[in-house]
Structure 1
Amino acid sequence: MWDLLLRGGRVIDPASGRDGTADVAVRAGRIAEVAAALPVDRAARVEDVHGKLVLPGLVDAHTHVLHGATYWGVDPEPIAWRTGVTTWVDAGSAGAYGLDGLRRSVAEPAPFRVRALVNVSGIGLVGRTGEHHVLENLDVDAAADVVARHGDFVCGVKARMDSHTVGAHGVEPLRRAAELARRLERPLMVHIGYGPPDLGDIAPFLTEGDVVTHCATGVATGLVVDGRPADTLLRLRDSGVLFDLGHGSGAFDFDVLEAELAAGLVPLVSTDLHIRSVYGPAFDLPTVMGKALAAGMGLTDVVAAATHRPARAFGLPAGTLSPGADADIAVFDAEEGRFPVVDVHGGTREAPLRLTNTATYARGRLLTPRAAEPPPAWVPLSAAQERAEDHRHQQVRSAVQRLDRPEDFDEPFPRPAAKDRA
């Protein structure tokens, strides 16, 4: 007997090469079978998903979810259920000093998968920036010792390399981050932004399997020259270095991404979701996937870039609907049309498809709605964002309805007999 059968959707699973109408059966938290016209009498629960997209649970390779303990942290639970993201990679919110807290307070209670890239700086992202200003906090030995106690929870190393974070130390934080990644035998994700250091300074420290995030930023110099990717970028690609979108609140430019795509440089699609970008313009992973479509990526490529490719990059058991895999499933309405989308500089394009999540299953269990808390005091919101946040609160309140008429209940409690009332 299957626990769940999703019938008749368009199943897109790039990891297995599947794209077509099929049913998906789930048993004991795992994918049991994917095939056309599976028998409904073998399932305890059947959901009709005709006309919908059925995808592997999305893998967001760049998020910040250490909420309540860092400047950037956002609570993933009010977001996961409505976006299809069942694997969250926290990109360096915690260093050696905070890794236990991230695991205990966020990852272990979560009803979905949370993994971490350990920040080379022990203090992680407690503040807005500047985590590399004191080199004593970048203790490779201490970080390696802490990571060794966490098994596969840590799937890589993170370093933010721009002028704000490194201060007077140049590439020394990156040298230590690369040393830590090689010792752990895990990939290194490097944030690029306002230089120096610039991409040319960073490149010598990167090797096959490492990841450059914010690859379509409009503020890092030397990414695109005369409308084409710089030679350094192409050499990194040819050496096996991966690229990650990492949209965030300030790191996505349509012109840059389109130039990279035209040269065959196809990034992982991630949000860099944090307490500021969650209010826009990133919002969530389906929104960022729509922007990748608007820039010219095909639907299958976008799904791959948000499922099995990031899972493979970080060695995660996720991103596929193959039988035996965890039953992480994302169901979407896919509306065709011309939908305006924006980058962080006000550039606009039109997405040919709008993805709206209708159900998210993590290990076969449906994630249920949960409202988000208000933003903390240090998050600046525009007037439009303030209005949207107020409207959201009003909608949550209005969703609670009082039923107080007898006809509201199919089987009202019977009135007790007179002798029972005595």
Structure 2
Amino acid sequence: MWDLLLRGGRVIDPDSGRDGTADVAVRAGRIAAVAPVLPATEAARTVDATGRLVLPGLVDLHTHLWHGATYWGLDPVALAWRTGVTTWVDAGSAGAYAMDGLRRTVAEPAPFRVHALINVSGLGLVGRTGEHHVLDNLDVDAAVAVAAQQGDLVRGVKARIDRHTVGEHGVEPLRRAALLARRLERPLMVHIGYGPPGLADVEPFLDEGDILTHCATGVAPDLVVDGRPTDALKRLRDSGVVFDLGHGSGAFDFDVLEAELAAGVEPVVSTDLHIRSVYGPAFDLPTVMGKAMAAGMDLARTIAAVTVRPARALGLDAGTLAVGARADIAVFDMEEGAFPTVDVHGGVRDAPLRLTNTATYAAGRLLEPHAAQAPPVWVPLSDAQRRAEDERRARVRASVQHLDRPEDFDEPFPRPTGAQR
């Protein structure tokens, strides 16, 4: 007997090429069957998904999850249940000195999968920036040893390469990060932003399968010039480098993404979700998916960019509804229309679809609602963001109801008899 049967939804699974009405059966936390019609009598529980999208659990390739220990960290448990993300990749929050802490406090307790990219700096992202200012903290041998101890947790290497993080050291932190990635035989993810170093400086260190994140940022002047990708960007495209959106709070520009799409650059769609971007304009992965579609990606390409493609980029067993795979499943309502979306510079495009998550299953188990904590004191919020946060907390408080009438209960409380205890 199956534990769960999702019936009648539009199943889109780019890994298998499936797009059509189908039932999805789950047994023992794994996908047991996917077919146009499966017998409900064989399931312990049946859920009607008619009119909804049934997708593989989403994979967010770029997040920051070490809440309570780093400047950027947020609690993913408060987001996963309402966004469909069942595989989270922490992009460099922890380096060699603290990776075990990330495992114990975030990855192991999570009801979904958490993987990590190890920061080439042993400090990780405990501060807002500057982790590469002291080169003694970029100990490649120590990072190799720590990654070897962590097994499946560490899936690659992360380095932020911009003038704020590297200071006077130029590309030396990047050189060490590339060396670490080659020794681990894992991909290198490089953050770009305010240069120098610029894209031409970064290019020689990236090999096929490495990841360039913030690929649609508007602050790196050598990505797109006069509406056309630069030669350096085109060489990276042709070399097999993976482009990652990494929206964040300051790294997404519609003009840049549209120029890249026109030039055949097809990015993985990720949020760079952290304690600042979660309040906007990134918010969550379904929101960023809407922005990708507003820039010209269709629904099928966008779903692939948040499921099978990021999973393959890091060699993860995720992003698929193949029989035998872990039963990570995301269910969405889909509304057609024209929905305004905004980039970090105030540019506006209309998304043709709006996706609203209605259920998220991790290993076949429904993730339950979990309230978000208040933002830490160092997060700068606009007046509108602060009002929205105050309203959110007021709604949570108002949702607590007390029933105190006899008719509110199926059976009246019996009157006591005999001695009271």
Q: Do these two structures clear the TM 0.5 threshold for a shared fold by scoring above it?
A: yes
**Alpha-carbon shift at residue 152 of structure 1 (Å):** 1.3
Residue 100 and residue 419 in structure 1: after superposition, are their counterparts in 2 closer, same or farther (change >3 A)?
closer
Aligned to 1:394: 394
Q: Which amino acid in the other structure matches residue 226 of structure 1?
A: D
Aligned to 2:179: 179
Per-residue deviation, residues 41-73 of structure 1 (Å, max 9, x unmatched): 110111101010011000000000000000000
CA distance in 1, matches of 2:412, 2:285: 44
**Alpha-carbon shift at residue 208 of structure 1 (Å):** 0.5
Per-residue deviation, residues 126-161 of structure 1 (Å, max 9, x unmatched): 000000000000000000011010111100000000
Aligned to 2:195: 195
User: Where in structure 2 are the equivalents of 1:8-87 lying within 5 Å?
Assistant: 8-87=8-87
Aligned to 1:260: 260
**Alpha-carbon shift at residue 169 of structure 1 (Å):** 0.2
Aligned to 1:130: 130
Q: Runs of 5+ in structure 1 lacking a partner? A: none
Aligned residue for 1:266, secondary structure, equals: coil
Aligned to 1:328: 328
Aligned to 1:361: 361
Aligned residue for 2:190, secondary structure, equals: strand
- 1:2 is aligned to 2:15: no
Q: Which amino acid in the other structure matches residue 221 of structure 2?
A: T
**Alpha-carbon shift at residue 206 of structure 1 (Å):** 0.4
Per-residue deviation, residues 275-298 of structure 1 (Å, max 9, x unmatched): 000000000000000000000001
Aligned residue for 2:332, secondary structure, equals: strand
CA distance in 2, matches of 1:104, 1:191: 26
Instruction: Find runs of 4+ consecutive structure 1 residues off by over 2 angstroms.
Output: 410-416, 418-422
TM-score, length-normalised on structure 2? 0.99
Q: Which amino acid in the other structure matches residue 219 of structure 1?
A: V
Aligned to 2:269: 269
User: Where in structure 2 are the equivalents of 1:239-250 lying within 5 Å?
Assistant: 239-250=239-250
Aligned residue for 1:186, secondary structure, equals: coil
Aligned residue for 1:82, secondary structure, equals: helix
**Alpha-carbon shift at residue 228 of structure 1 (Å):** 1.4
**Alpha-carbon shift at residue 411 of structure 1 (Å):** 3.3
CA distance in 1, matches of 2:24, 2:234: 40
Q: Bigger shift: 112-121 or 224-233?
A: 224-233
Aligned to 2:168: 168
CA distance in 1, matches of 2:38, 2:170: 59
Per-residue deviation, residues 185-238 of structure 1 (Å, max 9, x unmatched): 000000000000000000000000000000000000111122111111111111
Residue 229 and residue 403 in structure 1: after superposition, are their counterparts in 2 closer, same or farther (change >3 A)?
same
Aligned residue for 2:51, secondary structure, equals: coil
**Alpha-carbon shift at residue 403 of structure 1 (Å):** 0.9
CA distance in 2, matches of 1:394, 1:249: 25
CA distance in 2, matches of 1:178, 1:84: 32
- 1:153 is aligned to 2:132: no
Aligned to 1:292: 292
CA distance in 2, matches of 1:360, 1:420: 50
Aligned to 1:144: 144
Q: Which amino acid in the other structure matches residue 275 of structure 1?
A: I
User: Where in structure 2 are the equivalents of 1:305-320 lying within 5 Å?
Assistant: 305-320=305-320
Q: Bigger shift: 230-239 or 76-85?
A: 230-239
Aligned residue for 2:11, secondary structure, equals: strand
How many aligned positions are there? Answer: 421
**Alpha-carbon shift at residue 421 of structure 1 (Å):** 7.5
Q: Which amino acid in the other structure matches residue 251 of structure 2?
A: A
Aligned to 2:347: 347
CA distance in 2, matches of 1:355, 1:413: 45
Q: Which amino acid in the other structure matches residue 49 of structure 2?
A: V
Aligned to 1:382: 382
Aligned to 2:219: 219
CA distance in 1, matches of 2:7, 2:50: 7
CA distance in 2, matches of 1:420, 1:265: 79
CA distance in 1, matches of 2:218, 2:412: 63
**Alpha-carbon shift at residue 37 of structure 1 (Å):** 1.5
CA distance in 2, matches of 1:412, 1:97: 59
**Alpha-carbon shift at residue 36 of structure 1 (Å):** 1.2
CA distance in 2, matches of 1:398, 1:335: 28
Aligned residue for 1:25, secondary structure, equals: strand
Q: Which amino acid in the other structure matches residue 219 of structure 2?
A: V
Q: Which amino acid in the other structure matches residue 177 of structure 2?
A: A
Q: Which amino acid in the other structure matches residue 274 of structure 1?
A: H
Q: Bigger shift: 95-104 or 219-228?
A: 219-228
Aligned residue for 1:411, secondary structure, equals: coil
**Alpha-carbon shift at residue 414 of structure 1 (Å):** 4.1
Residue 405 and residue 259 in structure 1: after superposition, are their counterparts in 2 closer, same or farther (change >3 A)?
same
Aligned residue for 2:7, secondary structure, equals: strand
Aligned to 1:88: 88
Residue 264 and residue 279 in structure 1: after superposition, are their counterparts in 2 closer, same or farther (change >3 A)?
same
Aligned residue for 2:82, secondary structure, equals: coil
CA distance in 1, matches of 2:181, 2:201: 18
Q: Runs of 5+ in structure 2 lacking a partner? A: none
CA distance in 2, matches of 1:411, 1:174: 69
Aligned residue for 2:350, secondary structure, equals: strand
CA distance in 2, matches of 1:72, 1:47: 37
CA distance in 1, matches of 2:53, 2:275: 29
